[in-house]
Amino acid sequence: MLSNITSNSPQETSLKPGQKVYLYGDRRYEGKLIRPLERTYPQKWTVQLELGGYVAANAAEILPLESPHPEHKDPKIPFSEEPEIEKIAQLEQKIKILENTIQQLETENRLIEHRYHEVERENEILRQDLEQAKQTIRQAKDISPIIRLSLKRVLRLAHQACMDVQRTVGGWILKMGNKARKFRRLADIWDILSVDEFILSEIFPPEKLIAVNLILPPRRRTRPEPPEKKTFPLMHPQDIIRNRTMTLVKSG
């Protein structure tokens, strides 16, 4: 029985003087082992605390800060399958996410290909229309409608804007109520009225207005009279023979 009482436990035999330990399971009570106390049961050790002072603590209440190095060659490391199962579950979830992403990308790719073919068909139609327009331009004598303006077309456009156009001496008159402005060319009136929006103050500025009562009608063109035809008198036969003989005489 005495041998059982004095026998040291494995934890007591692992304690060594100078070893860093902490007491009562609380790391606030850290210190260094000094030496075991003799004739004490349970075994007690003198511990120098880092907080200051010394204390005698039971060996069961002393825990080493650093685990002792294993003396056996093949230590048994505990193995748990739970971390591996969690990793496998995480990998499977990532694989599912990647598969969903791939399906979305494939769907978007099919939509892009469909839209690409639609754009190709539209471009082909536009190319055909462009070729037809080029052919029309090549065959047309005059493709610009502005160059071949007529008074009828300008009047139709002016009447839509509640205006009137008439010819005058040296140009054209654009009228609206008591306001009138003179233009040198009919194309100038067309350029002003053919826009989507226009401002009356810009069409009829005060400095370019003319009095309506001073507008003169166009002058009629007089056809020039042809010059009088001059008739030459008839020559006698002897005069004709004389002229011919004179042309045959060689000069000195």
Mean pLDDT of the chain: 79
* Residue indicated by tokens 């502005």: 146
> Residue 75 and residue 247: Cα distance in Å, rounded?
150
Pick the residue with more confidence: 122 or 78?
122
SS3 content of the chain, % helix, strand, coil (to 5): 45, 20, 40
Degrees (nearest 5) of the Cα angle 80, 84, 86? 115
Share of the chain above pLDDT 90, in %: 14
Work out the pLDDT band at 249, boundaries 50, 70, 90.
low
User: Which pLDDT does position 8 carry in this prediction?
Assistant: 53
The residues, ordered by sequence, that sit 6+ positions from 58 with a Cβ below 8 Å of its Cβ are 42, 43, 44
Residue 116 pLDDT: 92
Percent of the chain residues past pLDDT 70, beyond the cut? 78
Q: Quick one: pLDDT at residue 119?
A: 93
Closest CA to 26 of 2, 55, 4: 55
Q: In the chain, list all ranges with CATH 2.30.30.30.
A: 2-64
User: pLDDT tens for residues 97-147?
Assistant: 999 999 999 999 999 999 999 999 999 999 998 988 887 776 655 555 555
Q: DSSP label at 61? A: G
Q: Is the pLDDT of residue 168 over 90?
A: no
Q: Residue 232: what pLDDT?
A: 65
| CATH code reported for the domain at 2-64 | 2.30.30.30
Structure tokens at 11: 């934890």
User: Is the pLDDT at 81 greater than 70, yes or no?
Assistant: no
Whether pLDDT at 209 is above 70:
yes
pLDDT in the model for residue 1: 38
pTM for this model (two decimals): 0.32
What span, in angstroms and rounded, lies between the C-alpha atoms of 201 and 207? Answer: 11
Our CA angle for 71, 75, 79, nearest 5°, is 155
